Structure formats: C-alpha cells, structure tokens
Amino acid sequence: EAGIPENALVLAAGGPDVGAALIANPAIAGVAFTGSTSTAKTIARALLEDDNRPLVPLIAETGGINAMIVDSTALPEQVVRDVIASSFQSAGQRCSALRMLYIQEDVSAEIIHMLLGAMDELTIGNPRLLQTDVGPVIDEAARANIQSYIDRHFAEGRVLKSMPVPSEGLFVGPTVIR
C-alpha cells in the first residue's frame, strides 16, 4: 500500500540456521543486525570467510552503554519519568535502555530523591498484566550476570536502592548504583 515492491521486504523467522542461510546467500549485499555481540562476531566472520564475494557491509548494534546527561535546566519530573521508562521498562533489555545517568551536581540530590521515590511506585511481575511495569529478564544467565553486577556494587557500598523481586521467576529488581 505504501508503494514498496512486494519482494523488497521479507520476514524470515527462525534461529541461527536461518541467519546462517541468509548470510551465506550471495545475493545479500549488506547486513544490519541487532542482538548479541557474540552473534555479531559470528556474522562478521561468516561474511569475511567467503572469498568468492565482494566485501559485505555489516552494521551491528549490540547494546551500547546509553547515557543521559542532565543539567540544571532540565525539568526534574521529566528526567525521572524518562529515566524510569528507559532504564526499567522491558527490564532494561532494550538496546536503547539507559545505563548511565550523569546529573549536574547542584541538581543531583533533588533528582535522585525523586527517582528513588518513583521506583517505589513500580510493579514488578508478569508482563502480561497491565499493572506490571517491570517484567523478568530473558534467561537465567542474564539474571545471574545482572545480579552479580549489582551484588559487587552493593558490597562496595554503591547501591543507592534496589527493589525487591518476586521469589519465582527471572526477575532483577530495578537498581540505582552511584
């Protein structure tokens, strides 16, 4: 309906086998990938190993350290709303999730106070329920990795707040670390 030729866009659902078949196809002239760093490296190696085809461009977005910089002109309520949405919704599992928050010193106490208070309003649980703000992480390896990071900073006295989680499931409580 938008005027794009029918064969211009194709959805090929599947796992590594489908991805490998796509990468091996000599008609593929470029690859844009969003996912894990290890998978991006596998794709890059596969593209480079084929000496019978021209160099294929690869754009890989593998979850960066996304930052927000807040100065004294920012509206604290808007900052807190955006931090909560970007950091904790989707359990922080989006490539665009906020990981680092830099706040100008003279407004940091107020914003941190508001942020910690807003965290008290979050509901952690089943993402199928409308009232849930934060669901589980993708698997046990992710949960253990994130929890280990939190535990290390907790031992160093750097955790400002960490939310309790349900006893069942792959949950990690939203956490603020200084």
Active site residues: 61, 95
Contact 134, 166 (CB under 8 A): no
- According to DSSP, the residues that pair with 162 across neighbouring strands are 175
Among residues 67, 74, 65, 66, the alpha carbon closest in space to that of 104 is found at 74
Please enumerate in sequence order all residues whose Cβ is within 8 A of that of 47, keeping only pairs 6 or more positions apart, or say none: 23, 31, 55, 56, 58
CA angle, 17 as apex, 12 and 18 as ends, to 5°?
A: 15
Contact 80, 115 (CB under 8 A): yes
Per-residue tokens: 120: 């008290």
Give the Cα separation of 151 and 50 in Å (integer): 44
